[in-house]
Structure 1
Amino acid sequence: MPVPSLLAVFAHPDDESLSAGGVLARHAAAGARTAVVTATWAADTQRAAELAEALRILGAGEPRMLGYADARAPRSAPGCVRFCDAPFDEAVRRVVAHIREFRPDIVVTHDAYGGLSGHPDHVHTHRVTMLAAQAAGLAQLYPDAGAPWQPHALYLATHPHSAVPALRDVFGVRRAVYSVPDEQVAAIVDVGPWAEQKIAAVLAHRSEVERGALPGLIAGLPPDARERLLATEWYIRCNPAAVPSALTELTISPCGEKPLGGGHFGAP
């Protein structure tokens, strides 16, 4: 049974590696098609070059950049509108075009809070991608954006409440963070065997390492702490359309329980 193809849609360069780097590497290693759409930053910037290196490490192809400006960094795309200010319908159409061109079984994006930080670009990417995943399968919508294609599942990268204390211990975070009740998490994915790739992809975002953003904090950790921190990924599952398919199911333990350190997006 083939491993499902996967298209990730994230707000900024580095979000793909931090939020879903393990799943991207795991699917690519199994022979699946994987790709990443990034909403912000222009293609001629340093961060775009860093994104290209991170995707090479993860096996996720060439960058697919929408080129909008980061809400908090106007220099990210000089002369371009901020992603949060762009016409909503236009942004949805552009993501629909990537979905229809790539034709993924699964789409991955931020959760409704935009992850732990609640960054406005993350939240907006969630909203745009949720609608695009549905609209992509409707022939009457955006007919100029390619032939209809309906992804069978949508997974939202998230953190359960139970994971937050460990993150606070590692990073000493004291400000508010956004997490979800554990019971909302449908997929707890052990990406330990791909942690080395994931960490390398995170650290490929050198400008973020240098300015002390999250990749920089990770760079400062001992290797074993990095691996413990990044070896598990959590996802909420949504169904853009009620189309049952073995290519959308999470592999879980024989007893049917969600394993703390196992499972991947794929056929049993």
Structure 2
Amino acid sequence: MFTSPSPLPSLLAVFAHPDDESLMAGGVLAQHAAGGARTAVVTATWAPDSHRATELADALGNLGAGEPRMLGYADARVPESAPGQVRFCDAPLDQAVERLVRHLREVRPDIVVTHDAYGGLTGHPDHVHTHRVTLLAVQAAGLERLYVEAGEPWQPGALYLATHPHSGVAQLGSLLTGVGKSVLSVPDERVTATVDVSAWLEQKWSAILAHRSEVERERSLPGMLSRLTAADRRRLLCTEYYTRLETAPTRGGLRQLTA
């Protein structure tokens, strides 16, 4: 996945909430930035003038991922996250896709990273919806007659879904079930990239800690991770898992559909 000669492929991460980028793809973001690649993050929820946006800016600074890019919708479970704005899950689909297409065409990334179809281990509805919107936006961004006012067409080369294999979540799964959260992982064969991010763990952990309001919460993942030993955190955070999806036709000339 991430073994191209330096500089590494440019990367745009699209996640639902501030802190998702650090937890799910913080190592890869830091890796690509350190390798000379352009990196950026789009966050679907929370207002740009909220305290979570300030924390997000600090986290992205630690990862080398630029300034926050926020779609500005409200969190499905925290309506005060974006006063006066519709919940992301309730927003008109075409509107949400167009907003994301604008960022895709502006950043022009080689790779896009987002949530998997489960929405990660806990299946948060905002995670699931971010997955759906991102799939549509990645396709639409490359089509010149869609969202013509959102910039020049751009087709990313690949879409990676941040995920968790069955074999890799035993310890983290116990952590989540201990506070009453479900665990949604995928069969190991669905993981197409297993990335060792141990060299960037310090930056990843600093980015997670930058989300201070979440670290203070007892039942949040940053809060739970902060109460673990350094050795346990290292085991949980040093590997990131992804499933690759192709974003454009790989060959033409077929005369029938093939699997």
TM (norm. structure 2) is 0.92
Q: Distance in 2 between matches of 1:104 and 1:80?
A: 28
Question: Alpha-carbon deviations, 1:99-155, whole Å to 9, x = none?
Answer: 000000000000000000100000000000001001100001000000000000000
Which residue does the alignment assign to 1:30? 35
Confirm whether residue 220 of structure 1 aligns to residue 219 of structure 2: no
Change (3 A) 1:66 1:188: same
Query: How far 1:220 moved relative to its partner?
Result: 0.8
Q: How does 1:16-55 map to 2 (within 5 A)?
A: 16-55=21-60
| Contact 1:152–1:243 (8 Å) recurs in 2 | no
The correspondence of residues 138-149 of structure 1 with structure 2, limited to 5 A, is 138-149=143-154
Structure 2 letter corresponding to 1:206: R
1:204 and 2:210 matched: yes
Answering whether residue 12 of structure 2 is matched by residue 10 of structure 1, we say no
The alignment-based identity, stated in percent, is 70
Q: Deviations over 1:186-209 (max 9, x none)?
A: 000000010111011011100001
Residue of structure 2 in register with 1:232 after alignment: 239
In the alignment, the residues of structure 1 paired with residue 120 and residue 147 of structure 2 have an alpha-carbon distance, to the nearest angstrom, of 29
Q: Is the 8 A contact 2:165 2:241 kept in 1?
A: yes
Q: Note the aligned Cα RMSD (angstroms).
A: 1.2
Structure 2 distance, partners of 1:76, 1:169, is 29
1:191 to 189, 193, 197: 197
Match of 2:102 in 1: 97
Contact 2:177 2:183 in 1 (8 A): no
Residues 81, 171 of structure 1: CA spacing in aligned structure 2 closer, same or farther, 3 A cutoff? closer
SS at match of 1:188: strand
Distance 1:207 1:159 in 2: 25
> Structure 2: how far apart are the matches of 1:89 and 1:240?
19
Partner residue, 2:156: 151
- Note the residue ranges of structure 1 that are not aligned, 5 or more in a row: 245-268
How many residues align? The count is 244
Residue 211 (structure 1) shift: 1.5
Query: Is 1:242 equivalent to 2:249 in the alignment?
Result: yes
Task: Determine the structure 1 residue equivalent to 2:86.
Answer: 81
Deviation at 1:168? 3.0
Kindly indicate whether the alpha-carbon contact (under 8 Å) linking 2:176 and 2:182 is maintained by their aligned counterparts in 1: no
2:255 maps to which residue?
none
Structure 2 gap segments, 5+ residues each: 252-259
Deviations 1:153-195 (A, max 9, x none): 0000000011121213455536421111100000000000101
| Structure 2 CA distance for aligned equivalents of residues 231 and 75 of structure 1 | 34
In the alignment, which residue of structure 1 is the partner of 2:186? 180
User: What is the CA–CA distance in structure 2 between the aligned matches of 1:117 and 1:110, rounded to whole Å?
Assistant: 11
